[in-house]
């Protein structure tokens, strides 16, 4: 019996269903809040002009990390690498690029409608919804996808037979790239969702806007709750992390809307003001991530075929 198999066989009951899924979801939720705090902290520390320069190098450095993840034979390391690099690339080469072009290059002003202010970078991001949708079409018609949602859509549209059998096995899948693209696309999708819900030109004002936001909260909790009901059945931590990424982002939609309603304070958006709270989030995320990373793994997660 290999060392990995022994670790699983003698592992703690803590790393079994439903705890694997619960811990993975908490880690992903903390990670989303922490990503916001890190980006704001960089802006506050460097100022906008230096941040625009630093973002290029931070993003490039993360690609080097992704290179190591792609080469790794460990599903565990590759999954975490894809997740972290996906977050970093989104913050630096997506959000901050939009910020640069919207605020500095184009000189756009925030749009204010009905007391709601939308920053230039988010106006640009909303305009990318069409690109988001055609990528959605690509994933729906991808016969090699293993995403539960896309597989379900393919079955409902009776595409499975026409697309043919997958040409990839588990060994052929590169989990660093898969998790990287999943993190980017899910984050992008949920941003577009939120921006459209908060867009008065799209949902209207007053009662119309409230109905749209309330409906969005319902869909977020219902859809996220369904995903969570599946997540708590997972036993492999690597798989749970990958499924926890969309689950957390879908549930986060409600966090953004409830914050807009004034029901909660997003401390991660003002890290210098709420430094104790942000440090607590950082500590909790770090401890939980290390525990999950080092939890007993099945041989398949370490590619011990």
106 vs 4 pLDDT, higher one = 106
pLDDT at 300 over 80: no
79 vs 201 pLDDT, higher one = 79
52's CB contacts (< 8 A; 6+ apart) are: 96, 99, 100, 104
**pLDDT-based confidence at residue 9 (cuts at 50, 70, 90):** very low
pLDDT the model gives residue 130: 94
Contact 182, 229 (CB under 8 A): no
For the stretch 68-91, pLDDT in tens is 999 998 999 999 999 999 999 999
**CA-to-CA separations, 188 to 77, 83, 95, 123, 277, in angstroms, rounded:** 24, 14, 10, 13, 26
Residue 263 is given by DSSP the state S
Q: How far is CA 258 from the centre of its chain?
A: 19
**pLDDT-based confidence at residue 170 (cuts at 50, 70, 90):** low
Contact 75, 237 (CB under 8 A): no
Contact 117, 128 (CB under 8 A): no
Q: Is 113 helix (H, G, I), strand (E, B) or coil?
A: strand
């Amino acid at each position: 019996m290999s060392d990995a198999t022994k670790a699983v066989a003698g592992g703690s009951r803590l790393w079994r269903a439903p705890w694997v899924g619960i811990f993975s979801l908490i880690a992903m939720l903390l990670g989303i809040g922490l990503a916001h705090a890190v980006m704001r902290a960089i802006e506050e520390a460097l100022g906008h002009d230096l941040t625009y320069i630093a973002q290029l190098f931070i993003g490039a450095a993360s690609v080097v990390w992704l290179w190591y993840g792609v080469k790794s034979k460990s599903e565990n390391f590759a999954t975490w690498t894809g997740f972290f690099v996906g977050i970093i690339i989104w913050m630096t080469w997506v959000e901050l690029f939009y910020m640069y072009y919207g605020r500095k290059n184009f000189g756009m002003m925030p749009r204010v409608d009905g007391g709601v202010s939308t920053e230039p970078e988010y106006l640009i991001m909303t305009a990318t919804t069409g690109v988001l949708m055609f990528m959605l079409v690509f994933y729906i018609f991808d016969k090699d996808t293993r995403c539960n949602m896309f597989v379900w859509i393919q079955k409902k549209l009776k595409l499975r037979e026409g697309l043919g059998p997958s040409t990839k096995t588990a060994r052929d899948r590169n989990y660093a790239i898969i998790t990287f693209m999943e993190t980017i696309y899910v984050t992008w999708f949920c941003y577009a969702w939120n921006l459209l819900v908060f867009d008065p030109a799209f949902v209207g004002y007053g009662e119309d806007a409230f109905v749209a936001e309330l409906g969005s909260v319902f869909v977020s909790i219902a859809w996220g709750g369904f995903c969570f009901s599946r997540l708590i059945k997972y036993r492999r931590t690597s798989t749970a992390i990958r499924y926890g990424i969309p689950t957390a982002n879908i549930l986060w939609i409600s966090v953004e809307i409830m914050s807009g309603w004034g029901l909660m304070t997003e401390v991660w958006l003002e890290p210098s003001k709420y430094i104790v709270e942000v440090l607590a989030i950082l500590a909790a995320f770090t401890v939980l991530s290390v525990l999950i990373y080092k939890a007993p793994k099945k041989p398949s997660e370490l590619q011990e075929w």
